[in-house]
Amino acid sequence: MSSHPTNTWNAIILAAGEGKRMKSALPKVLHAIGGRPLVSWVVRTALDAGASRCLVVVGHGRDDVEQALRADFGPRVETVLQPQQKGTGDAVRCAIDAHGDLVGRTAVLYGDCPLIPPTLLRELVERAGAADADCSLVTATLAHPDGYGRILRNAAGSVERIVEDRDCSGPQRAIREVNPGLYAFDTGFLRESIRRLDTDNAQGELYLTDVVELAAQRGKVIDIEGDMSELTGINDRRELALAAATKRRAVAEELARQGVGVADLDTLYVDAGCEIEPGALLGPNVHLRGRCVVRTGAQIDVGCVLVDVVVEKDAKVLPYTVATDSTIGEGAQVGPFSHLRPESHLGPRSKVGNFSETKKTVLGEGSKVNHLSYVGDGVIGKGVNIGAGTIFCNYDGEQKHTTTLEDDVFIGSDSQLVAPVTVKRGAYVASGTTVTRDVPEDALAVARTKQENKEGYAARMRARFRKKKAER
Ligand code: UD1
Ligand code: CA
């Protein structure tokens, strides 16, 4: 079988299983590491390695799996239904049967092996092509091979078959060379042999691994050695956490290599969908989730958790800031201990400081909310100063309303703005004022009882207290 072009090949990714050992309602392949579902890591490996078609076999939780794949890859991935999970061999058969037009080589990957480098897959496919092998696979040696299929070799040293962990005899169990589950087949050979599998094994399933034995009987099997740290399969939560730690570390190192300032390689958490420019600085224990963008010169200090946040050039995010779905403008400063809730858009050189909370608010260039304030549903112009303890009363129990502060407005400390309300350009609001009506341009709004000083009152009061105490 040699008449196919060696440069086109397909990938089949098996993702129909339930993953009982995860003890979770979520299908196993949708558990995420580094902000991306397991199956998406595998698909990305296949696409990055150069697969021209990528078929994902779905079954358990198929709607959710298909939706996740669509979101990540759109039309670059095709799905195939495996109606019942009768084993990895059955899963491959479903894909092969659904696509009679597959030619060339076909790589098979398991959807629960998220760490495979594209270079290894490409090497496997290229070696398979060069040797014109019916089956090529990666093997690896482990100190503790439990759970993995074991590699059996013949006297000449070539791979003869794979015995599943649960089917191992005592001596086979001691074999430390395992099957990580990464194959490249001649498609014609795969199509023919996948029909010849049976369920005569401990799990009563059709094992893809039995195809390796069929290939060995026919002659052409080759294998390459892999490093198990890149090939690990996720079957339970412990393995998921270990793989997440490996991925996290790799991302941190790669960022540092590209010129991002990484204060602590051990505690930086950056999801795969984030973009960090060289020259940005990321402190210890920083978590960047979803699709954050951090531009050059920006600094994110200790303990910040940002989800889908854009941090523009030279902005500073001081310790322990939490922000979601927001933008922080060029040269702006946020924190320490600020909370930006969704749709907070902070203009260039603006400031949101200690213990202030914002939500659905545009803060104009150079404007400040420095201390202990709540600013929700706000439209705030440029050069506005919002004093300590200001509250935007945006909710009347039924609806949210907007507070508008035009350019150069000054809000004195401990004021409340009862929305809907507008403070016009250049106006002042005196400290402690409850603003319920619009304030005209350049006016001063004061709404509080007039202060009265009672001379000597405190001294007389203290004298009374002393007398009472003496009488007791
Ligand atoms: C499999 C291999 C084993 C190898 C190990 C490496 C077989 C028979 N065994 O075992 O040799 O050492 O992977 O990690 O192939 N799946 C389906 N449909 C099914 C069954 C499984 O799509 O009917 C998918 C699962 O979603 C999963 C993958 O195939 O992503 C592997 O299945 P799993 O049950 O985890 O196989 P292992 O027992 O780990
Ligand atoms: Ca597995």
The residue count of the chain comes to: 472
Ligand 1 atom with minimal separation from the 111 CA: 30
- From 42, 43, 88, give the residue whose CB has the most ligand 1 atoms within 8 Å, as the site to mutate: 88
Could you give the CA distance from residue 160 to residue 216 in angstroms, rounded to a whole number? 6
Measure 401 CA to ligand 2 centroid, in angstroms. Answer: 52
Sign of CA dihedral 257, 261, 266, 268: negative
60 is a catalytic site residue? no
- CA 168 – CA 150 distance, rounded (Å): 8
Residues of the chain with confidence (pLDDT) below 50? 1-4
List, in sequence order, every residue forming a beta bridge with 260; answer none if it has no partner: none
**CB pairs under 8 A, 24+ apart, for 280-283?**
280/311, 282/255, 283/319
Nearest residue by C-alpha to atom 31 in ligand 1: 110
Cβ(428) – ligand 1 distance below 6 Å: no
Pick from 315, 374, 364, 314: nearest CA to 340: 374
* Ligand (nearest to CA of 19): 1
Task: Assess whether the C-beta atom of 120 lies below 6 angstroms from ligand 1.
Answer: no
How far away, in angstroms, is 209 Cα from ligand 2 center? Answer: 13
Distance from the alpha carbon of residue 58 to the mean position of ligand 1, in angstroms: 13
**Which tens digits make up the pLDDT trace of 380-411?**
999 999 999 999 999 999 999 999 999 999 99
> What pTM was computed for the model?
0.92
For residue 1, the model assigns a pLDDT of 44
The separation between the first and the last C-alpha atoms of the chain, rounded to the nearest angstrom, is 110
Q: Measured between alpha carbons, how far is 122 from 133 in angstroms, rounded to an integer? A: 15
CA 165 – ligand 1 centroid, Å: 12
**Ligand 1 binding pocket includes 148 (Cβ within 6 Å):** yes
Centroid of ligand 2 to alpha carbon of 243 (angstroms): 13
82 Cβ inside 6 Å of ligand 1: yes
Neighbours of 271 (CB within 10 A): 20
- Sheet of 281-282, strands arranged across: 261-262, 281-282, 299-300, 316-317, 333-334, 351-354, 368-371, 385-386, 410-411, 428-429, 444-445
Instruction: Please identify, by atom number, the ligand 1 atom nearest to the C-alpha of residue 18.
Output: 26
Please work out, in degrees rounded to the nearest 5, the angle formed at the alpha carbon of residue 223 by the alpha carbons of 219 and 228.
150
| Nearest atom (ligand 1) to Cα of 38 | 30
Q: Which atom of ligand 1 is nearest to the CA of 90?
A: 23
Helix (H, G, I), strand (E, B) or coil at 276: strand
Ligand 1 contact via 110 beta carbon (within 6 Å) = yes
CA of 166 to the centre of ligand 1 (A): 13
Per-residue pLDDT, 218 = 83
Residue ID of nearest Cα to ligand 1 atom 14: 233
Ligand nearest to the CA of 116: 1
Minimum-distance ligand 1 atom for the alpha carbon of 148: 12
Distance 36 CA to ligand 2 centre (A): 18
Q: Which ligand is nearest to the CA of 168?
A: 1
The protein residue with its alpha carbon nearest to ligand 1, atom 3, reads 149
Contact of 26 with 94, CB cutoff 8 Å:
no
Ligand 1, residue 58: give the atom nearest the CA: 22
Q: H or E stretch including 458?
A: helix 457-471
pLDDT at 222: 97
Ligand 2 (ion): residues with CB under 5 Å are: 112, 233, 235
Q: Hey, what are 111's tokens?
A: 């959807």
Q: Is 16 in the pocket of ligand 1 (CB under 6 A)?
A: yes
Tell me whether the omega of the peptide bond preceding residue 5 falls within 30 degrees of 0, making it cis: no
Residue partners of 147: CB distance under 8 A and separation at least 6 = 165, 235
Q: Is the CB of 17 under 6 A from ligand 1?
A: yes
Closest-approaching ligand to the CA atom of 14? 1
Q: What is the pLDDT of residue 3?
A: 45
Ligand closest to CA 15: 1
Is the Cβ–Cβ distance between 233 and 112 less than 8 Å? yes
Question: Tens of pLDDT along 122-154?
Answer: 999 999 999 999 999 999 999 999 999 999 999
178 lines ligand 1 (CB under 6 A): yes
Cβ of 233 below 6 Å from ligand 1: yes
SS3 category, 45: helix
Residue having the nearest C-alpha atom to atom 13 of ligand 1: 181
Output the DSSP codes for 114-168. Answer: TT--HHHHHHHHHHHHHHT-SEEEEEEE-SS-TTSEEEEE-TTS-EEEEE-GGG-
CA of 327 to the centre of ligand 1 (A): 43
